[in-house]
């Protein structure tokens, strides 16, 4: 019980301060607003739309944007708006899930290495060094081929290879708070290593973790789009932003809107996510120079 109060009380003021600092950054707030709008739209629009993402309509092939089909239709007469919203759903879902996976592994790995120290630390961090040199793109392509039938596993795989940065940063932070008085006090109470990590170390890392989690989301979204662009990601008829860009790229001569609209949305999402991450870095870690 005492541990909860210990971790919560001083940090509440800190959170509201950070929130105020974030609100003072117009780019970050705009990015947050746009992202929220895209997220809500992508959840609601497919429910309200008269069209569905997979049924072809042979009477409405390649219609440019018009009143019925706001963003036009593709080569099978499917409404681009609905497919785009499904794409946003998938991109955001993949981004968040895979980032959670990578944050989970990274935080546990880094905090354990930093807190336990000694040989454990050097073995764990040496293996991170080694994993850093594993060529990332080829490895994920191989993983996608291996897990090809199961899309869920694909993005767990993406998350599982992108935790290295977080592990390094978390370890550094852990080293710096490890010798503070409240940790000493908790150790005197005779808590086990697991409880120490979970109750006292990790809650104090949350600021850093949130920053890097937000910065991981755009890289993961990009990665999923990259895989779908190569035809290794989502399976037809489902669409992701990457596969829509890829479809559009093959029709760009005659129907450029099929490329430009998904490309615009993908860029918008990624730019907003990275602006939000930069803003959070300033808000949560005022000492960090920009």
Partner 1 sequence: MLKFLLRRLLIAIPTLLLIATLAFGLLHATPGGPFDTAKRMPAAIQRSIEAKYHLNEPLWRQYLRYLGDLLHGDLGPSFQYRNTSVNELIKIGFPVDLEIGGVALGLAVLVGGALGLMAALRRNSLWDTVAMFLAALGVSVPVFVVAPLLILVFAVELNWLPSGDWRFGELRYLVLPVIALGLPYVAYIARMTRGAALEVLGSSFIRTARAKGLPERAVIFRHALRPVLTPLVSFLGPAFAGVLTGSIIVESVFGLPGIGRYFITGALNRDYTLVVGITVLYGGLIIAFNLLADLCYVWIDPRVRLDS
Position 146 contacts partner 1 (CB under 8 A): yes
Question: Which of 68, 185, 189, 249 touches partner 1 (CB under 8 A)?
Answer: 249
What string marks each residue from 181 to 220 as x (binds partner 1 by CB under 8 A) or -?
-------------------------------------x--
SS (H, E, C) the chain: CHHHHHHHHHHHHHHHHHHHHHHCCHHHHHHHHHHHHHHHHHHHHHHHCCCCCCCCCCCCCCCCCCCCCCCCECCCCCEHHHHHHHHHHHHHHHHHHHHHHHHHHHHHHHHHHHHHCHHHHHHHHHHHHHHHCCCHHHHHHHHHHHCCCCHHHHHHHHHHHCCHHHHHHHHHHHHHHHCCHHHHHHHHCCCCHHHHHHHHHHHHHHHHHHHHHHHHHHHHHHHHHHHHHCCCCCCCCCCCHHHHHHHHHHCCCCCCHHHHHHHHHHHHHHHHHHHHHHHHHHHHCCCCCC
- Judged by beta carbon, residue 95 or residue 248, the one nearer partner 1 is 248
Burial degree of 184 (CB within 10 A; 0-12, 13-18, 19+): exposed
Position 229 contacts partner 1 (CB under 8 A): yes
Position 139 contacts partner 1 (CB under 8 A): yes
Q: Prior bond to 237 cis, omega within 30?
A: yes
- Judged by beta carbon, residue 46 or residue 218, the one nearer partner 1 is 218
Position 145 contacts partner 1 (CB under 8 A): yes
Position 130 contacts partner 1 (CB under 8 A): yes
* 126: CB partners within 8 A, 6+ apart: none
Question: Which of 88, 201, 234, 245 touches partner 1 (CB under 8 A)?
Answer: 245
- Judged by beta carbon, residue 183 or residue 239, the one nearer partner 1 is 239
Position 257 contacts partner 1 (CB under 8 A): no
Q: Which range touches partner 1 (CB under 8 A), out of 16-24, 53-61, 117-125, 263-271?
A: 263-271
- Judged by beta carbon, residue 83 or residue 200, the one nearer partner 1 is 83
| CA dist., res. 179 & res. 171, Å (int) | 13
| Least distance (Å) between residue 192 CB and partner 1 | 33
Position 236 contacts partner 1 (CB under 8 A): no
Q: Which of 217, 212, 210, 208 is nearest to 270 (CA)?
A: 217
Position 137 contacts partner 1 (CB under 8 A): yes
Position 113 contacts partner 1 (CB under 8 A): no
- Judged by beta carbon, residue 186 or residue 270, the one nearer partner 1 is 270
| Least distance (Å) between residue 193 CB and partner 1 | 28
Position 125 contacts partner 1 (CB under 8 A): no
| CA dist., res. 125 & res. 149, Å (int) | 33
- Judged by beta carbon, residue 79 or residue 247, the one nearer partner 1 is 247
| Least distance (Å) between residue 59 CB and partner 1 | 28
Site residues (CB under 8 A) for partner 1?
126, 129-130, 133-139, 141-143, 145-146, 148, 218, 222, 225-226, 229-230, 242, 245-246, 248-249, 252-253, 256, 259-260, 263, 266-267, 270-271, 273-275, 278, 290
């Amino acid at each position: 019980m005492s541990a909860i109060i210990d971790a919560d009380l001083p940090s509440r003021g800190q959170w509201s301060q950070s929130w105020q600092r974030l609100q003072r950054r117009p780019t970050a707030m705009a990015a947050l607003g746009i992202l929220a709008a895209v997220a809500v739209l992508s959840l609601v629009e497919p429910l309200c739309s008269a069209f569905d993402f997979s049924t072809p309509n042979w009477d409405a092939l390649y219609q440019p944007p018009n009143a019925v089909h706001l963003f036009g239709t593709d080569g099978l007469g499917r409404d681009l708006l609905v497919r785009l919203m499904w794409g946003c759903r998938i991109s955001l879902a993949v981004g968040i899930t895979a980032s959670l996976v990578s944050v989970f592994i990274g935080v546990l790995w880094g905090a354990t290495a930093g807190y336990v120290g000694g040989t454990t630390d050097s073995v764990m961090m040496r293996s991170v060094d080694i994993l850093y040199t594993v060529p990332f793109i080829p490895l994920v392509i191989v993983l996608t081929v291996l897990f090809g039938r199961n899309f869920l596993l694909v993005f767990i795989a993406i998350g599982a290879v992108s935790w290295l940065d977080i592990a390094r940063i978390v370890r550094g932070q852990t080293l710096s708070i490890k010798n503070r008085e409240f940790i000493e006090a908790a150790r005197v109470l005779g808590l086990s290593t697991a409880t120490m990590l979970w109750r006292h170390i990790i809650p104090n890392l949350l600021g850093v973790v949130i920053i890097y989690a937000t910065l991981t989301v755009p890289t993961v979204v990009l990665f999923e789009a990259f895989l779908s662009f190569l035809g290794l990601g989502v399976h037809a008829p489902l669409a992701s932003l990457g596969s829509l860009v890829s479809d559009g790229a093959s029709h760009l001569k005659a129907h450029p809107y099929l490329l430009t609209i998904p490309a615009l949305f993908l860029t918008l999402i990624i730019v907003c996510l990275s602006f939000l991450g930069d803003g959070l870095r300033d808000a949560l870690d005022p000492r960090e120079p920009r």
